[in-house]
Structure 1
Amino acid sequence: MRILLFTGKGGVGKTTLAAATAARLAAGGHKALVVSTDPAHSLADAFGVPLSADPSEVDSLLFAAHVDSRRLVDQSWRELRAQLRTVLTGAGLDELDAEELTVLPGVDELLALTEVARLAGTGPWEAVIVDCGPTAETLRLLALPDAIAGYLNRTHWKGVAGAAGRLAAHLASLRRLLADPDVAAVRLVLTPERMVLAETRRTLTALALRGIHVDRLVANRLVPRARKWGGPAASWLRTRRAEQDAVLAELAASTPLPVQVVEHRAAEPVGRAALLELAAELYAGSEPLERRHDPAPLLRVRTAGSGYELTVAIPLSDAADLDLARVGDDLVITVDGVRRLVALPVLLRRFAVTDAEADAGGLVLRFQPDGAGR
């Protein structure tokens, strides 16, 4: 089973492309579920049919659902929170502390992610297509297993058995699911505009720091080429398409990821037939489940003179706000406010960082023997 997560800046058309992908998979004989975690709930509009929180049949082999985070909070979180409060109070915490510790940040998003994993694991699907919220919400969603597990470890919940232990184990399984490139991949949708390109680059970096695999980019809503047409409208089209082509060339030069392009349509693609037509362009020369880009190893070490070079495979733009620190055997990397601790290879733990720079392969750090020893 594959899980494909579609996300991007709000308004770039990710919902339509997710729906088109699911429709093509079903038309090709794959049993597919497309599920939306976007609070806007526009997936039903793309198919032109009503949808609910439970998977419903849209067409042969094609099912769809909307995740209702508020309903999940009402049904699931209240019970779990009561269980945790009982366990924590029994562990010696007073009632007030137990109450405070069971108010987790981002519980709506956590339960939405949990529901996607549940649907993926309990249905007969060959593919689960996820229409995620806009980029910022998706980054919070994908970061939650790590963030909440860290929260548990920093609080009195650490080592508490029962409900808290089950929650920690569940978060770990979610993290493994999201970080497995054989199972999960992100399809990052953008429109070829400078501001969207800048956000796309930041998103690629943030996802790489999270260990989430992006296997392709989709540039949506390119204006059609004017060919030999004349007049003011054709002139506008040529100018606009030239601007978009320049953005795409800049994007292609900055990432090894394949970029697929989809032209803007005069009529909004609604319904299965229109979505299949869109998918034919989107996947021209490829198939939705095809892996077109394998993730590079996060860390690569090579000898360099009397020391070593360590490459951390994260994409960095010239404008990225980068901060590096070393804490014991960990390298702390912070890019545009997103932080990750990376355990240094054993080979480098007795060496000191002497220099760092960014190149096309990512962040390159140089290590030399630490005269002080360790």
Structure 2
Amino acid sequence: MRTLLVTGPGGSGRTTVAAATALAAARDGRKVLLLTGDAAVPADGAPATLTVHRPDPAAHFRQELLALQAHAAPALELLGAAPLDDDELTPLPGSAASAYLKALRDAARGDWDLLVADLPPLPEAIALLALPEQLRRYLRRLLPPERQAARALRPMLAQLAGVPMPPDGLYEAAARKDADLAAVQDLVHAPSASVRLVVEPGPAADDALRTARAGLALHGLALDTLVANRVLPAASPDPWLAALAAQQQTHLKELYGDGTPAVHEVPHLGRDPRTAGDLALLRAPGPRAAPVPAPRWTVEDRRDTDGVLVWRIPLPGAAKPDLGLVRRGDELVLTVGPFRRVVPLPAALRRCTVAGAALRDGELRVRFAPDPGLWPRTP
């Protein structure tokens, strides 16, 4: 299944472009699923091969909370807690992200030729795509799977420790949640998945592109196409419109020269697209035959020349003032602007100490010096 993850600044028209892309692919005979939170996506005249699914955060929140309440019912009864009813529940902040992750998980298990995911605006979209990895890390820290292996010893351990041990159901629930998150993570990071960024040519487009490229690279995601939306006609007898078009062309040249794999221009219709026919006029770009590969993090062995190993991390668009780097045990905490990722160190680097770092030409190079007390001795 090919997956297109569509995002962009608020108001850039990302939902319209996502819908136009899905509609064009469906008219070509592909079986397409469009995920969107926008209830106003035009569906009239769409072929039967296009399915539009809108996640329902409120319903998902109620379902999850009632299931948790049922699972914890014995403990709640002992505490004298009054159970919550379905009709009194309202979604809490974060419910939309949880509902969207479930929709992505269900899509990963479906039979589709193309999935077009209309994501939230930047930078919420990048935070959403990074959420499965973060939640899985939290689960592993709070409920290490290897501790469940000692199930036969649990009664004895409880007596020796003098405290109750976590019930088996807790580990089983964590394992199910981990599997669900892993399915989303595999979908997002699959070679057939890539991100499509929608911007409207203007002063804010350059900043949005830099932010997106840095955040996506930090989380190992590929940006394959930049969609320049609402492009005005280059020639107009109206001086005011001609001046706006000229300003757009100036920013378009900057976008073309910013190292993005591909730039696709979508024309301004002179009105808001309201029908499937309007979406067809946009000539939205279809999926690339070969998705752009995600940036690779590599370890370069320079012990013979400089006495260090260098972890090379591509971060196009990152700026030095927005960069943060902290070694935490066997993990690296890396901050780029509003984004943060905690990544485990490769095995070889765990036996080293950080000797410095530098950001050059869109690549972070972290130098590691082998620790004599930990590094294998050569005979």
- TM norm structure 1: 0.79
2:281 to 277, 282, 303: 277
Give the SS at the match of 1:59: coil
Amino acid of the structure 2 residue aligned with 1:108: A
CA pair 30-356 structure 1, distance change in 2 beyond 3 A: same
CA pair 253-13 structure 1, distance change in 2 beyond 3 A: same
Q: Deviations over 1:293-321 (max 9, x none)?
A: 22231335253832343210222333751
1:211 is aligned to 220
Mapped pair 1:66 → 2:54? yes
Mapped pair 1:314 → 2:324? no
CA pair 257-86 structure 1, distance change in 2 beyond 3 A: farther
Mapped pair 1:126 → 2:121? no
Mapped pair 1:330 → 2:331? yes
Tell me how far apart the structure 2 counterparts of residues 62 and 31 of structure 1 sit (CA, whole Å): 6
CA pair 246-358 structure 1, distance change in 2 beyond 3 A: farther
* Equivalent pair of 2:220/2:296 in contact (CA under 8 Å): no
CA pair 148-345 structure 1, distance change in 2 beyond 3 A: closer
CA drift at 1:127: 1.0
Equivalent residues in 2 for 1:68-87 (5 A)? Answer: 68-74=56-62, 76-86=63-73
* Equivalent pair of 2:233/2:267 in contact (CA under 8 Å): yes
Equivalent residues in 2 for 1:28-43 (5 A)? Answer: 28-36=28-36, 38=37, 40-43=38-41
Tell me how far apart the structure 2 counterparts of residues 129 and 84 of structure 1 sit (CA, whole Å): 35
CA drift at 1:64: 1.6
1:13 is aligned to 13
RMSD: 3.2
Mapped pair 1:266 → 2:254? no
2:254 is aligned to 250
Give the SS at the match of 1:10: coil
Equivalent residues in 2 for 1:42-57 (5 A)? Answer: 42-43=40-41, 46-48=42-44
CA pair 302-42 structure 1, distance change in 2 beyond 3 A: farther
Q: Unaligned stretches of 5+ in structure 2?
A: 85-90, 149-169
CA drift at 1:163: 2.4
Amino acid of the structure 2 residue aligned with 1:359: R
1:169 is aligned to 179
Tell me how far apart the structure 1 counterparts of residues 172 and 92 of structure 2 sit (CA, whole Å): 17
2:344 is aligned to 343
CA pair 251-301 structure 1, distance change in 2 beyond 3 A: farther
Amino acid of the structure 2 residue aligned with 1:150: R
CA drift at 1:212: 2.9
Residues matched between the structures, number: 341
Tell me how far apart the structure 2 counterparts of residues 345 and 163 of structure 1 sit (CA, whole Å): 30
CA drift at 1:220: 0.9
2:230 is aligned to 221
Tell me how far apart the structure 2 counterparts of residues 94 and 167 of structure 1 sit (CA, whole Å): 26
Tell me how far apart the structure 2 counterparts of residues 153 and 95 of structure 1 sit (CA, whole Å): 31
CA drift at 1:181: 2.6
Tell me how far apart the structure 1 counterparts of residues 17 and 92 of structure 2 sit (CA, whole Å): 33
1:181 to 170, 187, 191: 191
Give the SS at the match of 2:316: coil
Tell me how far apart the structure 1 counterparts of residues 141 and 64 of structure 2 sit (CA, whole Å): 21
* Equivalent pair of 1:311/1:361 in contact (CA under 8 Å): no
Amino acid of the structure 2 residue aligned with 1:255: G
Further displaced range: 320-329 or 78-87? 78-87
* Equivalent pair of 2:4/2:287 in contact (CA under 8 Å): no
Give the SS at the match of 2:72: helix
Structure of greater Rg: 2
2:165 is aligned to none
1:54 is aligned to none
Query: After the TM superposition, which parts of structure 1 deviate over 6 Å for at least 4 consecutive aligned residues?
Result: 93-96
1:109 is aligned to 97
Tell me how far apart the structure 1 counterparts of residues 210 and 321 of structure 2 sit (CA, whole Å): 9
Equivalent residues in 2 for 1:300-311 (5 A)? Answer: 300-301=299-300, 303=302, 305-306=305-306, 307-311=308-312
CA drift at 1:190: 1.0
Tell me how far apart the structure 1 counterparts of residues 80 and 329 of structure 2 sit (CA, whole Å): 37
Tell me how far apart the structure 1 counterparts of residues 292 and 128 of structure 2 sit (CA, whole Å): 23
CA pair 301-13 structure 1, distance change in 2 beyond 3 A: same
1:363 is aligned to 364
Mapped pair 1:191 → 2:200? yes
* Equivalent pair of 1:2/1:289 in contact (CA under 8 Å): no
CA drift at 1:373: 5.7
- TM norm structure 2: 0.78
* Equivalent pair of 1:80/1:163 in contact (CA under 8 Å): no
1:24 is aligned to 24
1:141 is aligned to 128
CA pair 79-127 structure 1, distance change in 2 beyond 3 A: same
Tell me how far apart the structure 2 counterparts of residues 157 and 86 of structure 1 sit (CA, whole Å): 24
* Equivalent pair of 2:222/2:295 in contact (CA under 8 Å): no
Tell me how far apart the structure 2 counterparts of residues 321 and 9 of structure 1 sit (CA, whole Å): 20
